[in-house]
Amino acid sequence: MAVFFCVQKPESIYDDNHGQSYEYFQRLPNGRQIEEGDWLIFTLTGKTSKNGQKVTGLGQIETLDYEEQGRDTLIRANYSRYKQFNPPLTYEQIGGDPRKSVQHAMNRVDEPNGQALVDWLLQFDQQPQSADTDNHSKSAKLNYTCKCNSCGCEIVLSSHWVFLAEKIRSGGPVCPVCAEPGMTLS
């Protein structure tokens, strides 16, 4: 299973069916790499987004339909599940822009970051918290202040990077100053 960032441009030549399918030509960079079971994370272009809010949703591919069109093949990726973000998320909210090339419409996200990002996006909750709800929920918090237990420094990390650190390293985030694991989150 792989994870790809895919640009969706309103009023494009493609017949995307929001929340159900995504169309692309096989000749596009990374177009041949996408397979059933892969995740697509959708983002708007800089010109079509507002206030940097670009990440609109993600879908897992159930089937791929192929249609020959001249010398190329049009592919429709049909989702088995889809999650929308309204309003769209910013790259800052998800820990930065993971794309290798901003010029390509489809970019593969390196492992293990791809799966960790999908896991984080699936559990992310955009619903506003009520006053009597636990406001320390990782699904609602965008940034954490992390204090090093060894040298005492403090840094602010996005919840995406904290989630990645906890998933990949059993000791949690590593201090960028003294390189010791086990920073305390607040």
What's the pLDDT tens digit per position in 29-59? Answer: 999 999 999 999 999 988 888 998 999 999 9
DSSP code per residue over 131-186: TTS-TT-TTT--EEEEE-TTT--EEEEEHHHHHHHHHH-TT-PBPTTT--B-PEE-
The rounded mean pLDDT for the chain is 82
Q: Are 124 and 140 in contact (CB under 8 A)?
A: no
**Beta pairing partners, 6:** 42, 106
Largest CA distance in the chain: 63
Helix axes 113-123, 159-168, angle to 10 degrees: 120
What is the tens place of the pLDDT at every residue in 104-152? 889 999 887 888 899 889 988 776 544 444 433 444 456 677 788 888 8
Mean pLDDT along residues 71-96: 92
Q: pLDDT confidence of 72, banded at 50, 70, 90?
A: very high
Quote the CA–CA distance of 122 and 57 in Å, as a whole number: 10
Q: Walk me through the domains of the chain, giving residue ranges and CATH numbers.
A: 3-123 (2.30.130), 143-185 (no CATH)
Quote the CA–CA distance of 158 and 161 in Å, as a whole number: 6
Quote the CA–CA distance of 100 and 102 in Å, as a whole number: 7
Nearest to 29 by CA among 138, 117, 104, 132: 104
**Beta pairing partners, 108:** 4
Match 């769209």 to its residue by tokens: 88
Helix ranges, 33-141 (H): 113-123
Of the ranges 3-12, 68-77, 133-142, the best mean pLDDT one: 68-77
